[in-house]
Amino acid sequence: MKNINYGLLGSTGKLGKEVQNVFAENKFQLVYELSLEGETQKDIPQILIDCSLPENFENTISLAKKFNCPLIIATTGLTSTQMEALKTLAEIVPVVQSYNYSLGIQILLKLTKEVQKYVDDWDIEISETHHRFKKDKPSGTAIMIRNEVEKEEVNISSLRLGNVFGEHTISFGGLGEVLSISHSASSRRTFAEGIFRSALFLLKKKNGFYSFTDVINENSH
């Protein structure tokens, strides 16, 4: 699957640049670009990647319709109305939506579910560490982890230190033992690779609304 034409919204952002690297290494051609610096089109994209901001959302939907092609959306902080709009779009073209495209975080979510098959009454604590510039607290990923926990009212501890890229830990504590699962990300490349993996997944679909978990499930052995 080479020489695919793709379009990129938010192409000049940090994640956008990393996406360009990974896609270029895999012989995908960047033919449509939208950023604060304007719009460039060389050809018709066969798939669209959105690494821009929620403010650009209307644009994203219009472009996916115009090009009638699959969409991967990595924008964070979508409203429930925007999520609904994505699901409506997914009736026409295939869509992958996730707040975190790292493989390791997806595995952590799966392990979190798995542990709860065996322990009922253990305490659960989630903690996350990020750089001092991060504005939201707790992180969106920490909330994704908490959503996998069956217990109510699980505490999330948020630490802000230097320029730590992103660390998440979920700990389960029984009387006499503690089991912890930790994930530490050290580069945006991980996310760009997850987006590329989603692209390969989507290019085989006709329509439908998918999560990055669906992508991972299809790829596992």
Residue 174 in the binding site for its own copies (CB under 8 A): yes
Residue 180 in the binding site for its own copies (CB under 8 A): yes
Whole-angstrom Cα distance, residue 166 to residue 139?
A: 9
Residue 117 in the binding site for its own copies (CB under 8 A): yes
- With beta carbons less than 8 A apart as the criterion, state whether 131 and 162 touch: yes
User: In terms of CB distance, is 37 or 120 closer to its own copies?
Assistant: 120
**x-marked contacts with its own copies along 144-163 as a string, rule CB under 8 A:** -----------x-xxxxxxx
Spell out the residues 6+ positions from residue 6 whose beta carbon is closer than 8 angstroms to its own: 23, 28, 29, 30, 31, 32, 45, 46, 47, 48, 49, 199
- With beta carbons less than 8 A apart as the criterion, state whether 61 and 85 touch: yes
**How remote is the C-alpha of 133 from its chain's centroid?**
20
Residue 174 forms beta bridges with which residues? 177
User: In terms of CB distance, is 54 or 174 closer to its own copies?
Assistant: 174
User: In terms of CB distance, is 20 or 60 closer to its own copies?
Assistant: 20
Q: Which residues are catalytic?
A: 130, 134
Q: Which residues make up the interface to its own copies (CB under 8 A)?
A: 102-104, 106-108, 110-111, 114-115, 117-120, 122-123, 125, 127, 129, 132, 155, 157-165, 171-190, 193, 216, 219-221
